[in-house]
Amino acid sequence: MGRKASARAMGEIVDPGLLMNETEKQELPTALTLFTGSAWTVLSRPFVEYLIRGRNNLPRTLLVSHANFVSSPEDYFHTVACNTEEFRNTTVNHDMHYISWGDSPRHHPEIINSSHWDRMVGSDAPFACKFGQDNPVLDRIDAELLSRQPGMLAPGSWSIGDTGGDGSFWIVRDASPLRPGPGAARLQRLVTSLLSEDNFRPKQCKIVDHSA
C-alpha cells in the first residue's frame, strides 16, 4: 500500500458515547505489510477456510482493523494473503475485469462505449465495468458474444433451444454439461498469460517503492 496507507487505513474512529464530538486516528499495524488492489477478487476454498478458522488469528485481527479502512474490500483479502506464508505464493495479480481508466484525475473508470469494444474483447477478460444504464454495448455483448436474444436466456448445451420457433421459451435439457465455446477460449488465453513466467511470480504480493 505504501504511502497510500495513511489515507486509506488511518480512518477516524468515532465513539458514539462522545456524541461524535471527539475522534481519534487509528494507528497503522507495524507487524505486517499492508497491501491494496482491486475490490473484485476470486478466492480459493482453502483460503476461505483459513479466513473462517484463522489458525493464527491473523484474519480476525485484520478484520477488526479493516472496519475503519476507506474501502476494506480493496485491502483485506490482499493483506491477509500476502502476509501468510501458505498463500502469498498463490496470488494472481488480476481481477478478471476490463476497465478503462482514461484520464480522470480521481481515477474513476470510464463508462464503456462502442469505442472500447475492440480493446474490451481483445483483453480476454470475462467481466467489464462500468456500464451506463441502457448501454447499447450490453445489447452488442448479448448479440455478438452470448448469442442471446432480447428477453431470453443465453443458449447453451444445457438447453434444447427455441422449441416454439418464435423465441418465446427454452426447454432445459440438462444444466450440468459445460462445453467450451469462444468465450472459454478467450478465458483460457487470459489465464495462460497470467500464469506465464513474466506475469505470475514477479507480480505476486509486489512491494512498490514509492520513493523511487
Average pLDDT over residues 6-26: 51
Question: 49-58, 159-168, 188-197: which has the highest mean pLDDT?
Answer: 188-197
Q: Is the pLDDT of residue 33 over 80?
A: yes
Q: Which pLDDT belongs to residue 19?
A: 44
Predicted local distance difference test score (pLDDT) of residue 131: 94
Mapped onto helix, strand or coil, the DSSP state of residue 170 is strand
pLDDT at 66 over 80: no
Q: Which residues sit opposite 13 in a β-bridge?
A: 24
What is the per-residue pLDDT across 82-95, written as a single tens digit (0 to 9) for each? 999 999 999 999 99
* Distance separating alpha carbons of residues 8 and 4, to the nearest angstrom: 6
Phi and psi, residue 127, nearest 5°: -130, 165
Cβ atoms of 158 and 173 within 8 Å: the answer is: yes
Q: What's the pLDDT tens digit per position in 117-155?
A: 999 999 999 999 999 998 999 999 999 998 888 877 777
Cα angle, residue 13 at apex, residues 7 and 15 outer, rounded to 5°: 165
d(CA 212, CA 209): 6
Set of cell numbers at residue 186: 478467450
Residue 128 exposed, middle or buried by CB count within 10 Å (0-12, 13-18, 19+)? buried
Please give the mean pLDDT across all residues of the chain.
80
167-192 residue pLDDT tens: 555 666 676 777 788 888 999 999 99
